[in-house]
Structure formats: C-alpha cells, structure tokens
Amino acid sequence: MIEKKPVKLALAWLVPAVGAAIFVTIQCFSYLNDYVRSGGMMQAITFGPAALWGVSIFYGAWVVPPLLALAGRRASDWAMLALGGLLFTMSTLAGVSDGLRDGGHLVALELLAVTLPGAVALIMSWRHIRSN
C-alpha cells in the first residue's frame, strides 16, 4: 500500500508548479494583449537562446520537488525543501517584479497561484521533516 503522507506532499508541491505555469501563460498573453492594443508601437521583447534555455530549465525544475517528495528518504526530503524553497522564492520575487512592471493583476495572480500554495507546501515539507 502507498503511504499517503509522501503523496500528499507531492500534490502540495504540484499545485504551485501548476500555478507557475498558469502565471507565465497569463503573463505572456497579457503582454501580447498590450502589444496588440498599442498597434505594435511597444518594443517587442526578444529572447536569446540562453534566456530560452534558462526559462525552460527554471519552469521544468518545478517538477523535481514533487518527485523528491515521493522518494521518501531523509536526504531527498531536505533536497525537496531546499529546491522547493528556492523555486518558491525566485518565482515570488520575479512574479511580483514583473507584475509591478506589467500590471497589478499579475501581482495578485502570482501571490494567489504560486506564493500561497508554495508557502503551504513549504510548511508541509518542514512539518514532514520534523515528524520523521
């Protein structure tokens, strides 16, 4: 039988991962909407290959904390907490700064979709480590 605690922890880390994907999608559409509304007068944002790889690796790394939660080992629990905390912090800071630049609705979305569930997942992870 599968233990429920690691599965719940993995699901807790999947929620901010999905929230981060939703946030970046809405952020892209929000920018595209502003670009079209301006009649193409805004400066287009361009990304080089290194930036595209960096963004892909960053958002792809959100899959690692849930996988580490399922491993159920002491070292993987600490790695989950460290990596998840880093992703949570970086996403919150980047999302809020992008939201302040691009619109307040993006700040609210970041706080609701990534920061709140990320804080819950961090608390659950810390409690899981302390209980073992």
* 6-36 tens-digit pLDDT: 899 999 999 999 999 999 999 989 888 888 8
Distance CA 42, CA 57 (A): 28
Q: What is the pLDDT of residue 31?
A: 85
Residue 46 and residue 130: Cα distance in Å, rounded?
45
Place of tokens 């790889």: 53
Q: Which residues contact 16 (CB under 8 A, 6 or more apart)?
A: 62, 87, 88, 91, 113, 114, 115, 117, 118, 121
* Domain boundaries along the sequence of the chain: 4-38+48-131
Instruction: For 61-73, write each residue's pLDDT tens digit.
Output: 999 999 999 998 9
* Rounded average pLDDT over 82-90: 96
pLDDT above 90 covers what percent of the chain? Answer: 68
The rounded distance, in Å, linking the Cα atoms of 130 and 132 is: 6
pTM: 0.87
Q: Are 95 and 107 in contact (CB under 8 A)?
A: yes
d(CA 79, CA 85): 10
pLDDT beyond 70 at 53: yes
